[in-house]
Structures are given as C-alpha cells and as structure tokens.
Structure 1
Amino acid sequence: MEQMVSNVQKKTFLRWILDRRLLTNREIIWLLHYLMSNDQLLSLIHIVDDVTRVNRSITIGNSEKGIQFFRYVKTTVETDDPEKAFHDLRMNQMEEVYLQLSIEAVYRSPIFYSVLEENPNSHEDIHEKYGQMAEHAAIEAERTFMINRLTHAINKALDEGDQQQFYALTRRLNTINKQTNG
C-alpha cells in the first residue's frame, strides 16, 4: 500500500529535524536545506525506515559513539560526501530517492510516522509494522491542532474583551489537557 506524502509534510518534517538540532554536520544540514528549497527534487524523496534494495538512497544517522554518518548510494556507486550527493541530486531530478534517518529521536516522534512511506522493494508493510505508532501520531497531531486552534480563539476573545467566550474556550482547553494528562 503506497502512501502519498506532500512536499509540505516533508518540509515540515525536515524543518522539525533541523529546529531540534538533531544534525550537526554542516554539509548534511546544507543538503537538507537544499532539498526543502527544491520542490521538484523534494517530490522524489521518500522517507523510509530501510533503504535496502533501492537504486538511489540517502542514509543519515548517528553511530553508537555519537558520530554522525552520511551515505549516498546510486545503483552501485557509494559516497559518504554530502557535497557529491548534492551534485548528483542536482543533476538528476527524475529518479526516486529514498531517505533513511537512523536517529533515535526521530523514531520516537509522531511526526516521523506521518511522513513514513514504504520501501517498494520491501515485503514488510509499514502499516502493520508501525500501525500503532502512526495512530498515536494522528491522535497527537489532532490534539495539537485543537489546542492551537483553541489558544488562538482564546487570544482573540481576550483581544475583543469577550469574557463569556474566553471562559467557554478555556474550559474546553482545560478539558483537552486533562484528558491528555489524566
């Protein structure tokens, strides 16, 4: 089952990684910025949990010793230089690219499961493998959306001096927070 992930979702995810400073290698950070700025190329990027048996892939991660690594593979050619990968990505914007992020904080985050796609050469179904995590991600995203919408409405009620609306919205926000924490 193939999942379609929009460029907006991918940009949001990559921005999330960069904002949390999960990567420290300048060239890798620069490459991710480039991917976010190029919609044509970003549409070819598929975030997967395993890049086995794909023709073109990027693997970014942290080793057990905390050292960041980068690997770009195109058919049988492999490099650990993000700049070489950049040049190939810039010149070839027709072939799919599969991105694997081997960073523990990424796997613990609900946002990862919202952009995760299946490796077309894998027999494992990501929905079976990560179904519960994906469901949690969807619930968390909905809760965050509701809290943001209520917070905005509360601020608007305050700005307009609407005390009755303020109290009603605040009660709803408190109910959501109690359900989450309780």
Structure 2
Amino acid sequence: MQVDVQTKKNFLSWLVATVQFPRREIYWMINYLVSHDSVLENLHIVEHADKTPRGLRLSANKAHKEALTLFIEEHEFINSEQIFHEIRMNWKKELFVEFDFEGKWHSEKYLRVLEDNPYNSWNDTIHPEIVSSIENFLHQKEKQLEIEALYQEIDHALETNNRADFEVLTEKLAEKLRETVR
C-alpha cells in the first residue's frame, strides 16, 4: 500500500503536536521531513526499521536506549548531525521510518500511514501458536456453520413432510455432532 505524501504530512504534523519526544533533534528531523515532499515520496512508515537496508527509528519510548537511530545495512548511527546529513544527501533513496510512542496501536492516524515492512513482513513474524489458534477457530466456525445449515435443511424437510430427507439429514447431523465431541 502506497501512502500519499499529504497523508504522511498530516500524520507527521499531528505527531509533532501530540507526542513528547525526549530529544529536540527528533522534532527538527520530523519538521524537515514535512517540508520536503521529495523525501516523503520515498519514505515508508513501518515497524522494525532496523531490519531494512536504510531505516530510521524515532522513539518516545524509554525502553529504547537511543531515541534517534539510523540503521544502514548492519550499522547503527546515533549522531543526529550524521543522521540528518545522510537523509539530506540520500533523499532519492527509500527510507523506512519507525515511530515508537505510547498508544500508537490505538491511533487511527498512525495506522492510516503504517505500511507492511517488505524486509520484515508481519505475515512472516506471526507466532506459530497464534496461527494454530486462528486455524482451530476457523475450523470450529466452519463446523458450526455446517451444523446450522443441516438444522435448516431438517426444518425444511419437516415443513414439506419429506421423511426420506429428514432421516438422511438427521443422520448427517448426528455424525457432525459426534465429530465435534471428539
């Protein structure tokens, strides 16, 4: 999903006005991004910027050791002047930016600009237990819908006095119900 420049600008402006970042350089960086459409065209807001060839993490979360970190390949840079210079000089290159702030998963503005990270897709990071749980839920739901459909067919057989269909359908229903108990 490609997010348009104006939507990114709106989000970044909201971010500057709303989130308390620990370093003023982060505000300078965001304001620079807002004022340069050419940079925003190649900017992608993602999770796990450290997994990308060129990523930037801006954090208001004290859990991160550094509030401002640039990742290039396997290297980390924390010097704000060096980071700003790299972004300014390489504005034609894709930049993957991660914002870490409290309540981001409840922010419609954040979710509107969030893109799937092509270097760390959310589909690839789902825990196998969650996948198994979802598959079990869908399987149970499918069985439930099959049983409900059989009940409707049985009702129809009763309404039309069709004894043969009634007997076949009740046997199918009994079998489905036995399967769900197992």
Normalised by the shorter chain, which TM-score bucket? Answer: 0.5 to 0.7
Q: Measure, in 1, the Cα distance between the counterparts of 2:101 and 2:121.
A: 23
Distance of 1:107 and 1:41 partners within structure 2 = 25
Identify unmatched segments of 5+ residues in structure 2. Answer: 127-182
Q: Which residue of 1 aligns with 2:30?
A: 32
Match of 1:23 in 2: 21
2:83 is matched with 85
State the alpha-carbon separation in 1 of the partners of residues 122 and 54 from structure 2: 19
Find out whether 1:41 has 2:42 as its counterpart. Answer: no
Q: CA deviation at 1:68?
A: 6.3
Whether the aligned pair in 2 keeps the contact of 1:23 and 1:68 (CA below 8 Å) is no
Shift of 1:94: 1.9
Structure 1: unaligned runs, 5 residues or longer: 129-182
Between the aligned partners of 1:104 and 1:42, the Cα distance in structure 2 is 24
* Cα pair distance change 1:38/1:108, threshold 3 Å: same
Separation (CA, whole Å) in 1 of partners of 2:50 and 2:78: 17
Match of 2:119 among 118, 121, 130: 121
Aligned to 1:14: 12
Post-superposition shift, 1:23? 1.8
Specify the code of the residue in structure 1 equivalent to 2:23.
N
Q: 2:94 aligns with which of 93, 96, 100?
A: 96
Identity %: 28
1:73 Cα deviation after fit: 1.1
Runs of 4+ in 1 over 3 A off after TM superposition: none
In structure 1, C-alpha distance between the alignment counterparts of 2:73 and 2:23, rounded to whole Å: 25
Alignment coverage as a number of residue pairs: 124
Alpha carbons of structure 1 residues 74 and 68: separation in structure 2 relative to 1, 3 Å? closer
Q: In structure 2, how many angstroms separate the alpha carbons of the residues matched to 1:118 and 1:50?
A: 10
> Whose radius of gyration is greater, 1 or 2?
2
The match for 1:53 is: 51
The one-letter amino acid paired with 1:44 is N
The answer for the alignment partner of 1:173 in structure 2 is: none
Amino acid across the alignment from 1:120:
P
What's the secondary structure of 2:67's corresponding residue? strand
Alpha-carbon distance, 1:122 to partner: 2.1
Q: Could you list the per-position Cα deviations for residues 36-64 of structure 1 after superposition, in whole angstroms to 9, with x for gaps in the alignment?
A: 11111111110012224310001111124
Q: Per-residue deviation at 1:99? A: 0.7
Q: Is the 8 A contact 1:46 1:98 kept in 2?
A: yes
Judge conservation of contact 1:60–1:70 (CA < 8 Å) in 2. yes
Q: Is the 8 A contact 1:118 1:125 kept in 2?
A: no
Cα distance change, pair 35–113 in 1 and its aligned pair in 2 (3 A): same
Task: Report Cα offsets for 1:95-152 as digits up to 9, x if no partner.
Answer: 11111112123232111110000111224249x9xxxxxxxxxxxxxxxxxxxxxxxx
Kindly provide the CA deviation profile for residues 66-92 of structure 1, in whole angstroms up to 9, marking residues without a partner as x: x86111011233211222111001111
**Equivalent position of 2:62 in the other structure:** 63
CA contact (8 A) 1:79 1:85 kept: yes
